[in-house]
């Protein structure tokens, strides 16, 4: 499981990033777990899970502070992602929120900055803030999260709106609605799709069909679920505050699912048969 064997995803710019990264939702909120969570994040980077995703919302900045501590002295090894809350996402608010995130993270630049979901501010306002941040070299790329096809299509009509690098959405075996329209749209538009909660916060791991596939492959249910997301050409950012779970997750990178496994998963978790409203957690 060397870092060198990691799968990658290509951004619209042509830059490659790790297909399997690390999420941080709910991390940094329990002082008793801090050392374990720091160890987990650092182990993930050691194992090549070098996309680290966080947000100002997570623990009201606590997750960003945790990430900043975990990455101290090795910022250059990771592709660092954070997000602006919709309520902050006017032009000036987007810039100010990013600057607060940068301070908590202990860095001068984010690799990717996302609108967490669509709120009351027009997309033009947020895009203007992203543009200001790009010009100030405080972010390298910008993108969105929880935007469906209609939102993405609207975004691309705005000046510079076709430069979105990523749409980060809820996607896993039990949440396949984006396969009907959003995923094909993003592929055509060359927008990278990144899946949050790729194992449905653990809820799908007890499904017997998933367990049967895992046993047949000598893998764990979590590894199969993550490998399935990667097989779709989608990046995944599972959260884990445990080094053991991080090591387990990393095994998904080297797991390739044969046709019979994919067929069994399709039977247990059917693809969408029509348009489905974008789901969120």
- Residue 131 belongs to a domain with what CATH number? 3.20.20.100
What angle separates helix 221-231 from helix 259-268, to the nearest 10 degrees?
100
pTM: 0.94
What is the reported pLDDT for 165? 97
Task: From 219, 182, 204, select the one nearest 268 (Cα to Cα).
Answer: 204
Task: From 90, 91, 92, 129, select the one nearest 113 (Cα to Cα).
Answer: 129
What is the reported pLDDT for 4? 42
Residue 69, domain member (yes or no) = yes
Q: What is the total count of domains within the chain?
A: 1
Residue 261, domain member (yes or no) = no
Q: Contact, 107 vs 76, CB < 8 A? A: no
Residue 210, domain member (yes or no) = no
Give CA separation, 71 vs 31, 80, 247, in Å. 18, 10, 18
Task: From 155, 83, 81, 99, select the one nearest 125 (Cα to Cα).
Answer: 155
Per-residue pLDDT of the chain (281 residues; tens, 9 = 90+): 334 446 999 999 999 999 999 999 999 999 999 999 999 999 999 999 999 999 999 999 999 999 999 999 999 999 999 999 999 999 999 999 999 999 999 999 999 999 999 999 999 999 999 999 999 999 999 999 999 999 999 999 999 999 999 999 999 999 999 999 999 999 999 999 999 999 999 999 999 999 999 999 999 999 999 999 999 999 999 999 999 999 999 999 999 999 999 999 999 999 999 999 999 98
**CA 56 to CA 179: how far, in whole Å?**
29
CA dihedral 103, 108, 195, 9 (to 10 degrees): -160
Neighbours of 14 (CB within 10 A): 6
Give CA separation, 127 vs 117, 133, 256, 278, in Å. 13, 10, 38, 22
Residue 181, domain member (yes or no) = yes
Residue 272, domain member (yes or no) = no
**CA 40 to CA 161: how far, in whole Å?**
36
**CA 243 to CA 140: how far, in whole Å?**
29
Residue 192, domain member (yes or no) = yes
Task: From 143, 135, 162, 157, select the one nearest 235 (Cα to Cα).
Answer: 143
- For residue 198, the enclosing domain spans 15-202+235-242
Residue 105, domain member (yes or no) = yes
What angle separates helix 182-189 from helix 149-156, to the nearest 10 degrees?
30
Residue 198, domain member (yes or no) = yes
């Amino acid at each position: 499981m060397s870092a060198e064997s990691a799968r990658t995803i290509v951004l619209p710019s042509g830059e490659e990033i790790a297909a399997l990264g690390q999420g941080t939702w709910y991390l940094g909120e329990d002082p008793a777990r801090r050392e374990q969570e720091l160890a987990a994040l650092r182990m993930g980077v050691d194992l090549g899970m070098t996309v680290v995703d966080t947000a100002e919302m997570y623990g009201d900045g606590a997750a960003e502070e945790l990430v900043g501590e975990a990455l101290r002295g090795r910022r250059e090894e990771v592709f660092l992602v954070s997000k602006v809350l919709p309520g902050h996402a006017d032009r000036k608010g987007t810039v100010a929120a990013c600057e607060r995130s940068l301070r908590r993270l202990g860095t001068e630049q984010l690799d990717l900055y996302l609108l967490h979901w669509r709120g009351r501010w027009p997309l033009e306002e947020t895009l203007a803030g992203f543009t200001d941040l790009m010009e100030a070299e405080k972010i390298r790329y910008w993108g969105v999260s929880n935007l469906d096809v209609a939102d993405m299509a609207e975004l691309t009509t705005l000046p510079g709106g076709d430069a979105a690098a990523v749409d980060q959405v809820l996607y896993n075996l039990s949440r396949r609605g984006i396969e009907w329209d959003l995923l094909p749209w993003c592929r055509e538009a060359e927008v990278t799709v990144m899946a949050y909660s790729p194992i449905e916060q653990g809820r799908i791991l007890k499904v017997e069909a998933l367990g049967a596939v895992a046993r047949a492959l000598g893998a764990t249910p979590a590894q199969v679920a993550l490998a399935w997301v990667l097989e779709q050409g989608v990046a995944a950012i599972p959260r884990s505050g445990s080094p053991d779970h991080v090591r387990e997750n990393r095994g998904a990178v080297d797991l390739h699912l044969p046709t019979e496994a994919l067929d069994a998963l399709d039977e247990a978790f059917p693809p969408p048969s029509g348009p489905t409203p974008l789901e969120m957690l």
